Amino acid sequence: MPDAADVGHGPTYENHTMPRYLAVGDIPKKRHTAHRVTPGYKNEGIYYEEVVSTHGFSRAYSIVYHVKPPTRVKKVEPAGAWPVERVEQSALRHHHLKTGTIPAKGDPVTGRVPMFTNADVILWRCRPSEPQAELFRNATADEIIFVHRGSGLLTTHFGVLPFRPFDYVVIPRCTTYRIDFANSPTPPDLLVIESPGLVGFPPRYVNADGQFRLGAPYCERDFHGPTEPLVIDEEQDTTVVIKDGDRLTRYTLASHPFDVVGWDGFVYPFTFNADDFEPITGTIHQPPPIHQTFDAPGFVVCTFAPRMLDTHPDAIKVPYAHSNVESDEVLYYVRGKFGSRRGVEESSFTLHPHGIPHGPHPGTIAASKEMTRTDELAVMVDTFRPLYLTKQAMTLDDANYPMSWLE
Ligand SMILES: [Fe+2]
């Protein structure tokens, strides 16, 4: 059978890099051999291997070992559709949306509200008000869940992963999961980046040996995967809602899917905290790619982390005006005061689309002159194809924002 990469369709990942190898729990010495257990399901004497691969069988994969076969489905039923309604804009312009007060609703999955979309990415905001009702699995997209507020546990068939504020929680496609928040007076608040292409790391951060270079803004120690297996060996009907594109399907499994005694490989959920991003600074302004955190087909994710500002005596310490040629630039403002913008607040989005300039707001160049550092934290998503606002985003749009540079 040819590899998908050989047949000339789908995205290419020539330079894409994935997380490092991890091994968790109990795995046999050699892959695809009997992983023995007594008596085992139906006295067959083995754990059941499942290969979780990407890009067909061509790219990163993990091999997991279940107590029972992962294929024991009792019922399959449609569970509706989740269309993302994009709005055609009659004019090319900048946008500013304040999303900090969108109503809390639903659970960490059903409460997601789409904001921006194109063929390569969907950006969602989520302020859940209820515990996750059913297990969830995104069959066709990786998810990067940026935790603006809240801490808790991501439970998956790879094990349990704690998360905390300002974590990026990266969940590879086909990971069955639930998200539980710890009790807190601060309601949980999420930015969800859904990527039909594989999420990985910028290849320029990785040396020929597969290790993050010394000059990269993070290293292996900053990434956290599951450390122990999770074995729920229960013969009980368990529903999983599976999303592939807009379509939702409810599977009723005969046993709990979190019955994995061990796994190894390069595909697993992991966390990276934005405060572990090591900013790169200079005597003069450094360009946006130095903030890059993740790489995916059609877009990049960048972290604007607290950092020292430029030290040249004549340095202009806020970004120069720029026209984003072949790029639509979304900023999600997380924490602190954003030096180059006026009027934005925590949970604001700005979208500065392709082909028209944007830059520091009036007064911000002078205001930054004596500053030596910035405490801003923001997440940027730059797409290479135009983004569309959704119907929900348009209700939050400030139509006067394009004129906000006048005075
Ligand atoms: Fe910009």
Residue 379 CA to ligand 1 centre (angstroms): 12
Tokens found for residue 389:
């606002």
Residue 218 CA to ligand 1 centre (angstroms): 23
Q: Residue 337 has what pLDDT? A: 83
Burial pattern 258-292, b for ≥16 Cβ within 10 A else e, equals bbbbbbbbbbbbbbbbbebbebeeeeebeebeebb
Residue 340 CA to ligand 1 centre (angstroms): 10
Residue 15 CA to ligand 1 centre (angstroms): 25
| CA–CA gap between residue 158 and residue 150 (Å, rounded) | 22
Task: Give Rg (Cα) of the chain.
Answer: 22
β partners of residue 335: 377
Helix (H, G, I), strand (E, B) or coil at 268: coil
For 201, counting Cβ atoms within 10 Å of its Cβ (0-12 exposed, 13-18 middle, 19+ buried), the class is: buried
Taking 60 as the threshold, does the pLDDT of residue 6 lie above it?
no
Q: Residue 357 has what pLDDT? A: 95
| CA–CA gap between residue 266 and residue 298 (Å, rounded) | 22
β partners of residue 66: 48, 260
Tokens found for residue 347:
């949970």
Residue 358 CA to ligand 1 centre (angstroms): 6
Residue 319 CA to ligand 1 centre (angstroms): 7
β partners of residue 382: 300, 329
Please state whether the predicted TM-score (pTM) of the whole model is above 0.85: yes
Query: What digits encode the pLDDT tens for the residues 257-281?
Result: 999 999 999 999 999 999 999 999 9
| CA–CA gap between residue 365 and residue 359 (Å, rounded) | 10
| CA–CA gap between residue 116 and residue 123 (Å, rounded) | 5
For 218, phi then psi, to 5°, come to -155, 170
Q: Residue 317 has what pLDDT? A: 87
Query: What digits encode the pLDDT tens for the residues 160-202?
Result: 999 999 999 999 999 999 999 999 999 999 999 999 999 999 9
Taking 90 as the threshold, does the pLDDT of residue 324 lie above it?
no
| CA–CA gap between residue 37 and residue 35 (Å, rounded) | 7
Query: What digits encode the pLDDT tens for the residues 200-210?
Result: 999 999 998 88
Residue 287 CA to ligand 1 centre (angstroms): 10
Residue 372 CA to ligand 1 centre (angstroms): 21
DSSP string, 293-330: EEEETTEEEEEE--EEPP-STT---SPPPB--TT-EEE
Residue 87 CA to ligand 1 centre (angstroms): 23
Residue 302 CA to ligand 1 centre (angstroms): 12
Residue 346 CA to ligand 1 centre (angstroms): 17
Query: How many Cα atoms occupy the beta-carbon half-sphere of 22 within 13 Å?
Result: 23
Residue 39 CA to ligand 1 centre (angstroms): 61
